[in-house]
Amino acid sequence: MDQIQPKVSTAFETFMTEAPAHSDAWLNAVQKLGAASALDSKTAHLAYLAVLAALRLESGIPFHTQLAKRSGASRAEVMSAVLVGLPAAGNAVLQCLPAALAAFDEV
């Protein structure tokens, strides 16, 4: 059975389509940074969600939630990742919670 690919945001899709040389360079850097990380895949995806939520980058939340889920993260872990920044970043992280939970609950 084929897995459904996580959908990237419209902004990132436009970036990949309209600036292919830049997006290729960006994706190459992302892959190399991922390979250099000592974190396992699930932990890395959960940490990334925490950073996205703290920075209020809601458009990336669905895509990265799906990656975390595929790496074995539970719904509770995804929710905790979004909320981990609450003390430092404030309640702004709450705006990302609905998007994360909706993405996790998608079939």
97 close to 83: Cβ distance less than 8 angstroms: yes
Provide the pLDDT for residue 3. Answer: 60
pLDDT for 4-61, tens place per residue? 677 888 898 999 999 999 999 999 999 999 899 999 999 999 999 999 999 999 999 9
Distance from the first to the final alpha carbon of the chain: 13
64-77 pLDDT, tens digit per residue, is 999 999 999 999 99
Decide: 53 and 61 in contact? Cβ < 8 Å.
yes
Structure tokens at 68: 């975390």
Q: What is the pLDDT of residue 93?
A: 96
Residue 84 has what DSSP assignment? T
